[in-house]
Amino acid sequence: MGKVGEELTEQETAIYDRQIRVWGVDAQRRLWVVPLPLRNGSGAGHGGGGVGQGKALMGLSKSHIFVSGLKGTVIEFCKNIVLAGVGSLTLNDDRLVTEELLSANFLVPPDENVTRGKSLAELCCESLKDFNPMVSVSVEKGDLANFDVEFFQKFDAVVISCCSLLTKVWTFFLLVENKLEDFSNENTSFFSMILLLIMLPMQKSVNAKCRNLPRRVAFYTVKCRDSCGEIFVDLQNYSYSKLELSSFDPFLQFNLVLSTHRCTFYLEGLYLAYHIARSDEALKSLLMLLQKKKEETIECQLQYPSFEEAIAVPWRSLPKRTSKLYFAMRVLERFEVLEKRNPQDTSADDLPNVLKLRKELCEAQCINESQIPVPLLQRLLAARVEFPPVCAIIGGVLGQEVIKAISGKGDPLKNFFLFDAMDGKGIIEDISG
């Protein structure tokens, strides 16, 4: 492994047989060998060229994934990404095991003799190595906020959880870009001003560090509260290619009369009535005609905002059908910042103060408070442990998105994914301003 076009070994083919059948050998190679595009856009994107790996690449390395905050959702993601066969996975979580952390973590054995004196990352590392010995799994100790920009340069994707809003965003870039005059700009939202005032003295966020690198690093945040989950994606300026089937030739879009036996087909969005002959040869010829689809390579490009830019988008400018869960998550993030709470360090007793904050934000954003239902806030506030089935769903979606970004296969998510088990809906919201 490690060279473009290198053939998979028999062992690799046997281990990854199922997924190779789904996304092909080319995509599987990219999980080990990925392009490292420059930030100014030269070279293809992650998996740029999407269909085929023969295009010129600026540099090569095995795909390296960094994960911080090992809660249930991230554990599911780690399991999925290791089984998929990435080059390496680095874990960061120095917390010791508690009963709460065990609620949705199947990688940690419930044996005090085994867990004593070991961090959560160390314990999970040992278990993940057993899932796929061909993937290098390691531990990086230290506080996430203390890692410098150069540290993240060796990774192709960064996934963080269990961190505060202050760690996720860094508004210094916004202040530099918009200058101090923006404080007097009537279009500057109350939201943006609050963020600037609170977070200006804080350290650079992980997202900002990833954006400040000479090459593109995919950035993801994930959280799970009770039966709800959220994923944020930042692929910066992302270019990729995809295969699409062209429309049928006009001569196929008519009623074909071959006999008195009638069948109706639904094909490519068209209801076509066909009279199919009794002859098998006639039926075979008809089906062969219908299967003549022309594949076209479509070049696509997406521009992603940073987390800071996304959450600063005024609520009143968002579509009326925007997920209520999105607004609820932002209110709770703001509450944790103002109260200096750790992520999810809330309870039902906080509801009166949260409702007061909800009212202030809704008035400032000119939206109705009904967009953030009280029952939803109550559920999110009372969530002390994660709901394992929701962790599995969110972790599965996250794993899929990271594989897309690395392999260049499939349309990536832009830029929020929200899931609520109460209605069973998974919603993608493009919050880009």
Question: Which pLDDT band holds residue 371 (cuts at 50, 70, 90)?
Answer: very high
What residue type is 363 in one-letter code? E
Residue with tokens 């944020």: 232
Bridge partners (DSSP) of residue 245 are: 295
Angle at 133 between CA 217 and CA 10, to 5 degrees: 100
State residue 353's pLDDT score: 96
**Residues 239, 47: contact at Cβ < 8 Å?**
no
Mean pLDDT of the chain: 75
> Could you state, in order of their start, the residue ranges of all structural domains in the chain?
10-241+303-314+384-429, 247-293
Which residues are CB-neighbours of 51 under 8 A, at least 6 positions away?
26, 241, 242, 243, 297, 408
Report pLDDT digits (tens) over 276-334.
444 556 666 656 665 555 567 788 899 999 988 898 899 999 998 999 999 999 999 88
For 124-158, letters b (16+ CB in 10 Å) and e give bbbbbeeebeebebebbeeebeebeeeebeebbbb
Q: How far apart are the first and last CA of the chain?
A: 42
State residue 74's pLDDT score: 95
Evaluate if residue 231 carries a pLDDT over 50. yes
Residue with tokens 């967009």: 371
State residue 100's pLDDT score: 78
**Which helix (H) or strand (E) is 229 found in, with range?**
strand 228-234
Find the range with the poorest average confidence among 44-48, 207-211, 427-431: 44-48
CA 305 – CA 91 distance, rounded (Å): 26
Question: Which pLDDT band holds residue 187 (cuts at 50, 70, 90)?
Answer: very low
pLDDT: which is higher, 360 or 186? 360
**In the structure encoding, which two tokens stand for residue 75, read together?**
């554990």
**Residues 294, 246: contact at Cβ < 8 Å?**
yes
3-state secondary structure of 88: strand
Q: In sequence order, what DSSP letters do the residues of 377-414 get, joined into one string? A: HHHHHH--SB-HHHHHHHHHHHHHHHHHHHH--SPPP-
Evaluate if residue 425 carries a pLDDT over 70. yes
Residue with tokens 């944790």: 336
Percent of the chain with pLDDT strictly greater than 70? 64
Evaluate if residue 188 carries a pLDDT over 80. no
What residue type is 239 in one-letter code? S
Write the class of the CATH domain 10-241+303-314+384-429. Answer: alpha beta
Evaluate if residue 149 carries a pLDDT over 80. yes
Report pLDDT digits (tens) over 66-82.
999 998 999 999 999 99
DSSP state letter for 129: H
What HEC string does 171-228 produce? Answer: CHHHHHHHCHHHHHCCCCCHHHHHHHHHHCCCCCCHHHHHHCCCECCEEEEEEEEECE
Question: Which pLDDT band holds residue 177 (cuts at 50, 70, 90)?
Answer: very low
Percent of the chain with pLDDT strictly greater than 90? 36
State residue 171's pLDDT score: 29
CA 388 – CA 346 distance, rounded (Å): 20
Which residues are CB-neighbours of 412 under 8 A, at least 6 positions away?
233, 235, 238, 240, 302, 401, 404, 405
State residue 99's pLDDT score: 79
- Alpha-carbon torsion 372, 347, 162, 387, what sign? negative
- Alpha-carbon torsion 132, 135, 141, 147, what sign? negative
CA 221 – CA 331 distance, rounded (Å): 17
Evaluate if residue 221 carries a pLDDT over 80. yes
Angle at 76 between CA 110 and CA 167, to 5 degrees: 100
Report pLDDT digits (tens) over 67-124.
999 989 999 999 999 988 888 999 999 998 887 778 888 998 888 788 888 899 999 9
Evaluate if residue 191 carries a pLDDT over 90. no
Evaluate if residue 135 carries a pLDDT over 70. yes
Which residues are CB-neighbours of 243 under 8 A, at least 6 positions away?
51, 295, 296, 297, 298
**Residues 407, 44: contact at Cβ < 8 Å?**
no
Whole-number Cα distances in Å, 163 to 119, 180, 383: 17, 28, 16
Give mean pLDDT, residues 240-268: 50
State residue 226's pLDDT score: 85
Report pLDDT digits (tens) over 35-58.
444 444 433 344 333 333 333 222
Give mean pLDDT, residues 342-363: 92
Evaluate if residue 213 carries a pLDDT over 60. yes
